[in-house]
Structure 1
Amino acid sequence: MKETMVPSPANLRILLSTATDQLRRAGIESPQREARLLAAHAAGTDLAGLLRIDALTGAAHATFSQILTRRLNHEPMAYITGQAGFWSLDLATSPATLIPRADSETLIEAVLHHLPDRTQALRVLDIGTGTGCLLLAILAEYPHATGIGTDINPHAARLAADNAARNGLGARCATLCCNWAEAVRGPFDLVLSNPPYIPHTDLAGLMPDVVAHEPARALDGGPDGLVAYRALAAALPTLLAPGGTSVLELGIGQDHSVPALMRASGLEVVETRPDLGGIGRALVVKK
């Protein structure tokens, strides 16, 4: 019988110090915190639980070494751990979808501001749903709402459905694999979308974590970054109910060009809401 080689015990303090130095040299932001997060994941605990651990041994030590190498290669933490937080949700992640980001929570804030009655039985559509983060956050805030999420990637559509079940929202939503909204029929009271909006020539300049690991199809907005918005502008007048609201995520510098496309389709531009960095992030339009 072949003997299994078990890594020797590793003092956690020394392990974290070494990993922090390696992550810093690799250009990883917050290297100390990331080293601790990796160690906690390897040990099957959280940051509080890590305080009770003196050493990583056996499988935990081997796992830590493997996932540290992945992070040094700029694989996003959310893909390594397989989960990410968004709004009040705990979401599973995979390389089939973009990682939910805090900037996108600006869209949820915009919806809550413009549709303040939480008792509404909204019919919601999320185009390009990815993890389902936008749709599920809205369903969590509006207990009588129902929704549909669409995604062209079948793995993303499956992940969104799994996340709905994971957060106890599966009974109020469905996910469909289709191109944009081709498989659905309105009217919807609320249409959400975080479409691809990075101009094609700008993709190579993104952070290594993004350009090397997140799905290009979910990032590439075509030559000018506006291809998806043109499709949305054409579809929204049919998808929205009279008086219905759409909230779209914008990229940097798109807070003039995208509203112009929406106005040209006969939609009323209500607001462009900035994120915490002051960037116009959530465009609110109405039919």
Structure 2
Amino acid sequence: MTTAYTGWDAPVVAEGVYPPQEDSQLLIDVMDKTGLARGQRVADLCTGSGVVAIAAADQGAAEVSAYDISPRAVRFARQQVVAAGARVDVHLGSWARAAESGPYDLVVCNPPYVPHDPNAAQPELPSHIGPAQAWDAGYDGRMVLDPLCASMRSLLADGGTMLLVQSEFAEPRKTLAALASSGLDAEILAWEWIPFGPVLSSRAQWLEETGRLEPGRREEELVVIRADKA
């Protein structure tokens, strides 16, 4: 299905925190349309501002736990949870920390997935778009995706589901294959084309030079992948 989320106002975030963008919007919309959060125990990995975790609570989740490795993000997400009056517990840590309290009925994640050249100096970008660790994910964009996919089965309860958003440039087919190899039933559930933001605009020439972007194209496809544990 194609989808575009229009009924949500992104919060203004603190410096050093990833501001919700189209990928967060798409993930929230798919979660809402599928009704997967309602009455369920939910974990939001790489929570950033906490917007997806708060949306899960608003959509009727029985319990929501959010995780991020950035202390700034955790502090800000906790402030947003209080302001929203949402029932969300925000923790400092990765999915390894989440696994200590799992398994979960639903795991949602908007991880770092933007490819970059680790050997090249990166151009200076506006500070309001957040820290590079929120998007930089190695040469192929899979520095976080690969270990996350390998760990997902252990995070999910029997009958549980994962929803994950990523860019075409991090090779969704590899995500599907990695999830399938761990025994999960995976598919692309939704997609949306969006214009390049500052990060991809700064890397467009490099993506062209490495054969991942057609010359002159300045838009990317975001996808939401669903994986189910029998």
Query: How does the TM-score come out when normalised to structure 1?
Result: 0.61
**2:35 maps to amino acid:** L
Aligned-residue identity in percent:
29
Runs of 4+ with >2 A deviation: 86-92, 112-116, 179-185, 202-210, 252-255
Distance 1:275 1:90, change over 3 A: closer
**2:227 maps to amino acid:** V
Map of 2:40 onto structure 1: 122
Distance 1:243 1:270, change over 3 A: farther
Out of 179, 192, 198, the position equivalent to 1:275 is 192
Out of 89, 92, 107, the position equivalent to 1:174 is 89
How far did 1:158 drift? 1.1
Size of the aligned set, in residue pairs, is 196
Contiguous gaps of at least 5 residues in structure 2? 1-5, 195-219
**2:191 maps to amino acid:** P
How far did 1:181 drift? 3.3
**1:230 maps to amino acid:** D
Is 1:137 aligned with 2:23? no
Distance 1:216 1:106, change over 3 A: same
**1:132 maps to amino acid:** G
Map of 1:186 onto structure 2: 102
Matched residue of 1:135: which SS? helix
Map of 2:30 onto structure 1: 110
Greater gyration radius: 1
Is 1:198 aligned with 2:140? no
Higher helix share: 1
Answer whether contact 2:165 2:224 (CA < 8 A) is retained.
yes
Answer whether contact 1:149 1:176 (CA < 8 A) is retained.
yes
Map of 1:97 onto structure 2: 17
Contiguous gaps of at least 5 residues in structure 1? 1-85
Cα distance in 2 between the residues matched to 1:234 and 1:114: 24
Answer whether contact 2:23 2:110 (CA < 8 A) is retained.
no
Answer whether contact 2:12 2:19 (CA < 8 A) is retained.
no
Is 1:148 aligned with 2:65? yes
More RCO (CA 8 Å, sep 6+): 2
**1:194 maps to amino acid:** N
Query: How does the TM-score come out when normalised to structure 2?
Result: 0.75
Answer whether contact 1:92 1:163 (CA < 8 A) is retained.
no
